[in-house]
Structure 1
Amino acid sequence: MTITIKDVAKLANVAPSTVSRVISNSPRISEKTKRKVRKVMDELNYHPNLNARSLANRSTKSIGLVLPPALDASFQNPFFAEVIRGVTAYSNQKEYSLYFITGKNEEEVEQTVNKTVRGRRVDGIILLYSKENDNIIDYLSEHNFPFVLVGKPYHYIEDITYVDNDNYAAAREVTNYLIDQGHKRIAFVGGESSLLVTKNRLRGFQDTMQLNGLSVKEEEIIFTSFTRDGGRKAVNQLMELTELPSAIVVTDDVLSLGIISVFQEHGISVPKDISIISFNNAILAELANPPLTSVDINIFQLGYEAAKNIISKIEEPDGSEKSILVPYKLIVRDTCMKKEDLELVKS
């Protein structure tokens, strides 16, 4: 059986990328860690492919952008268009071109990434999403291939450069905002449960509710897709409740618009019957009817910083890994109403 970097990393209890840096004698790795990893390499009789590493020094002046599966669904959401605009702005300054990587499903995306890396079609990769147990991150780390993550990594946080917001803190702020307005029954509607952004915002929501002595029923936490159709599915689940909550924390603007439109079909008014607070503050948030109260996560800046850091990693491969937290701001518009005002409207 062929011994791989993953085998060495597992036995040495380090990330695959750390093993790669030991092989290249990176100055950022301590001598103690180098000795430990080299001892494991000797024990396993592991020998790196130095010819493959020398081929990796060729430059293409291209950056790969990995999008979630189903490109058409991704571009229904303005988040991706705006984050790509940020990536493009910095890449153009440095004269790097962009290479888009996606597929019909996760397996196809993984295969395309593998082919792209093996064929040296790009110098580095930006992943425009973050999820639990991502095979692509494992693959890129094992091959010591430069990459930056938009979102927080699930594992090896110290070994991965990522650009994100403090989604936990943002979720706490929006939940406190609704509680301060008198809402006690608040539901949560997020994207897929495997996405780290969903997990972090849900954790912030749940912790805030608990700290305020408020309970959340399991059926009031809903996971769906970041699409208008996902909003329809969420409303269908909410309508099965004995009583609707008075407010909802929704983790995406497109999802919020889907929820609002389906509520309207049922004769339920936002915010007169139910308040909604959202995330992203894309252009459609301001143009919505009613305009969405939403968290501005500076999507353009997320993309800009991701491009800046991947190019830095490409041009200075021995630089240190780091996390960049882009600031956010709650933009209050017309989809939230104080509970006391809501009761006055109903009376």
Structure 2
Amino acid sequence: MNHDISKRRSFLTSQKARGHRITIGFAGIADFRSFIGQEYIAGMQKAASDYDLNFINFAGAIKYSFFDDIDFISHYLKTFKFMKAPLIDGLVIWGSSLCEFLDNDSVVSTFSALNPLPMVDIGYLDIPGVPSIRIDNSYSISVIMAHLIQEHSYSKFAFIGCETSTPQLTRLKCYHEQLNLFGIDEIKNSVILTPSMSDVDIAIAVEKLISYHDLHDKQEIECIVTPSDMIAAAVIEELDKHGISVPIDVAVTGFNNQYNGLFARSPVTTIDLAYFKRGYASVELLIDRIMSPQDVFETRMVHTSLLVRQSCGCFEKSVVHAAEDSSRQEDFSVERSSEGDVRTSLFQKVRIIFPHQDETSIERLVNSVFDDIYEQKTPSKMLRWFQNLLQNTRKDSSIVNSEFQQSITSLRKLILPLVRDDIKQYVHMEDVFHQLRALVSIFIEYDSMASREDTYLMNNLSQIAINFASATSGKQIQDVLRYQLSEMGIPGIVLALSENMTSDVATANLELILPEPPADIQEKLPYRITEPTRIPKIFFPQTRRFSVIVEILHYSDKYFGYAFLEVGNPNISIYDTVRTLLSNALNSVYIREGRTKERTALLSNEQVEGILSTSSREQEEFRGSIKASQITNYLMEHLNEMTDLDRMASDLSVSKSHLVRRAKELTGFTIQTLHEKLKIEQAKNLLQVESLKLGEIANRLGFQNQNYFSSVFKKNTGMSPRAWAKRNLR
């Protein structure tokens, strides 16, 4: 076993022996219908499984989020309240994924605030003290350029990229370095940078390049290098609109191996950025950081690889190798054998390639081969045969679509020898096989998309939504969850709900655990949680590792709590769907039950900070103990109650004596005095609501009666509530 792996396993085993299985998290934002985010998470989940770690996914699926407003990031940042010990021991972050919503400095400060939590980044943004798992752009561009220059002898290059993308600007710099290294002069007006990656901007860039250079027959430009498959695919499409063929007139290359490049008119030669491998490596580096928190870790580079396809002027390796192997196949030359003998032999060999097809189907395929050779009609008869096969295969789990590429290679080895003496037939059949490969790839992609998107395509989703909408109480919502989670492929849930709507993720009661926990755990419910990170691990699966996604429950800017949804279905959109349905149902129930009185919404941070002394803020970073924010948050959540030190100490998991001592150290006040001052600040806000009477305000703030409230208010402000309101409402 690798020494590093052995060391990690030994450390993790020792932790479990002490009753502590390491828990890691992942934070980032992406469109998880894109394979990049899917591959990152798949790599992390595989590493978490291999190393027996708990995994909490804090990712925000931006394309699935049905917010009532457009300020997505403000909601997502609430999730950062969970990204601390003891809930997690370390965090993999995708810092640059937030750059679409925040400026770079804000992203850096947001993640830096999580220190000293061990973190590893998989993005391109430099965050102080956080090592990264990255690809080497310089090496990757050098591999592309070496191939283009050494294999194709290209020397006339252009570059189209996006000026707002930091990685793409880095790749442009590497492109210039490679030109210098090979002694190639940059052609004037050969670098075009777009303001965005939209199809419109890329089309404009292509038109600019065409206005500067003749792109036909590789006369002035032989190859257009792009830093993204999305750009490469769009460039190829635009070139075709101008009658410029890729790669005959000009070659094009991409970067990052996205689906766009695979399905381009000419499949794009690109760089595979090893997303799965990087996700896996990020977890291993995070374990190393957790093991040795005092060590300084450097950024680690993961090797990329060149994927040669057709846009550069090559054929795929499988195609090349198939041609090389064809010489070892039986020679079906029509000159040496009758067509009948060729058909019979071909029939037998095709049956071996497609063992699941009956004789009638095989005979149709053989007939389509000869129709394509002699008639060369469009669309190809073989293409139609494969289309029918793929459509039927989607209903037959005994056949795996991904195996079809090998079947096409085998079929090609049989058929090309038949036409090798006729260049026209040979070229036509090569085109047919390219179409077959593209068709199979498309069907595989459709099936992959369907597996990720089935949440929104499920026939019973509307019924599930109706069941949630029909719930008229918290118990009915819990019953719906019991019956419907399994329908959506979600194995379990840990659900925590606040007593009332709040303006933030606040104190909540853990009310539901599915599957039902043992009796000794069940009897602890409902369990009060003062901070999300303080939820005891006993409420998660104890006999096995867990993998969950955190969903914060809210309707517009009103919050109800949060849920840990156990990962079953790999489709991340399904968990956002549950959030949406559950949040809408909770909103209706909370309104119906009158649970809309916010205890803290009117009390601003400035008001709270105005009460606390400067010394209390300086001591806020005191480690290993309760913080001032925990004390004030708790008291604000209980403004309508009398001060209860015993209950507060229990809820905050500290001794009463420690709570009293630390409160005085941190705030300069006793608990009772601080609670009173917070109530008076809230009273000032409520006095400005003209519809509220003094008696109602006193009741809301937990005072015994109106007179006692007035007495306490005057003691703290120097005037009666009515006098204060009269002065401040002018």
| Band of TM-score, shorter chain | 0.5 to 0.7
Specify the code of the residue in structure 2 equivalent to 1:87.
Answer: M
Could you tell me which residue of structure 1 aligns to residue 35 of structure 2? Answer: 78
Shift of 1:87: 2.4
User: Deviation digits for residues 300-342 of structure 1, max 9, x if unmatched?
Assistant: 111221233335545654343221211112122211139xxxx
Specify the code of the residue in structure 2 equivalent to 1:101.
Answer: G
Distance in 1 of aligned mates of 2:212 and 2:27: 41
Picking from 89, 96, 115, the partner of 2:78 is: 115
Could you tell me which residue of structure 2 aligns to residue 335 of structure 1? Answer: 311
Could you tell me which residue of structure 2 aligns to residue 246 of structure 1? Answer: 222
CA contact (8 A) 2:192 2:205 kept: no
Q: Percent identity?
A: 24
CA contact (8 A) 1:140 1:146 kept: no
- The alignment's C-alpha RMSD in Å is 3.5
Tell me which of the two structures has the higher relative contact order, counting C-alpha pairs closer than 8 angstroms and 6 or more residues apart. 1
User: Deviation digits for residues 263-294 of structure 1, max 9, x if unmatched?
Assistant: 22222111011101121234564554422211
Shift of 1:177: 2.8
TM-score (norm 2): 0.33
Specify the code of the residue in structure 2 equivalent to 1:256.
Answer: A
CA contact (8 A) 1:102 1:109 kept: no
Could you tell me which residue of structure 1 aligns to residue 252 of structure 2? Answer: 276
Shift of 1:198: 1.7
Is residue 2:177 matched to residue 1:207? yes
Is residue 2:132 matched to residue 1:162? yes
TM-score (norm 1): 0.65
Could you tell me which residue of structure 2 aligns to residue 299 of structure 1? Answer: 275
Distance in 1 of aligned mates of 2:233 and 2:296: 41
Q: 1:321 aligns to what SS in structure 2? A: coil
User: Deviation digits for residues 30-67 of structure 1, max 9, x if unmatched?
Assistant: xxxxxxxxxxxxxxxxxxxxxxxxxxxx9994523312
Shift of 1:128: 5.9
The structure with the largest alpha-carbon Rg is: 2
Does the C-alpha gap of structure 1 residues 300 and 263 become closer, same or farther in structure 2, counting only changes over 3 Å? same
Could you tell me which residue of structure 2 aligns to residue 98 of structure 1? Answer: 57
Q: When you count helix as a share of all residues, which structure comes out higher?
A: 2
Distance in 1 of aligned mates of 2:188 and 2:277: 36
Q: 1:264 aligns to what SS in structure 2? A: helix
Picking from 129, 133, 147, the partner of 2:96 is: 129
Shift of 1:250: 1.4
Q: 2:255 aligns to what SS in structure 1? A: strand
CA contact (8 A) 1:231 1:257 kept: no
Specify the code of the residue in structure 2 equivalent to 1:146.
Answer: P
What pairs with 1:1-347 in structure 2 (closer than 5 Å)?
A: 61=23, 63-67=25-29, 71=30, 74-75=31-32, 77-93=34-50, 94-101=53-60, 111-112=74-75, 114-120=77-83, 123=88, 124-127=91-94, 129=96, 133-144=104-115, 145-154=117-126, 156=128, 159-180=129-150, 181-195=152-166, 197-211=167-181, 212-217=183-188, 220-223=191-194, 225=196, 231-244=202-215, 245-282=221-258, 285-286=261-262, 288-314=264-290, 317-337=293-313
**Which moved further from structure 2: 310-319 or 137-146?**
310-319
Specify the code of the residue in structure 1 equivalent to 2:55.
Answer: Y
5+ residue gaps, structure 1, are 1-57, 339-347
**Which moved further from structure 2: 161-170 or 318-327?**
318-327
**Which moved further from structure 2: 198-207 or 220-229?**
220-229
User: Deviation digits for residues 156-203 of structure 1, max 9, x if unmatched?
Assistant: 5xx3210111111211232233233333332223345342x2232111
CA contact (8 A) 1:146 1:314 kept: yes
Q: 1:129 aligns to what SS in structure 2? A: helix
Structure 1 stretches (4+) deviating beyond 6 angstroms?
A: none
User: Deviation digits for residues 229-272 of structure 1, max 9, x if unmatched?
Assistant: 66445434434434443211112223222221222222211101
Distance in 1 of aligned mates of 2:130 and 2:48: 20
5+ residue gaps, structure 2, are 1-19, 64-69, 216-220, 315-730
Specify the code of the residue in structure 2 equivalent to 1:300.
Answer: F
CA contact (8 A) 2:237 2:265 kept: no
Distance in 2 of aligned mates of 1:103 and 1:117: 16
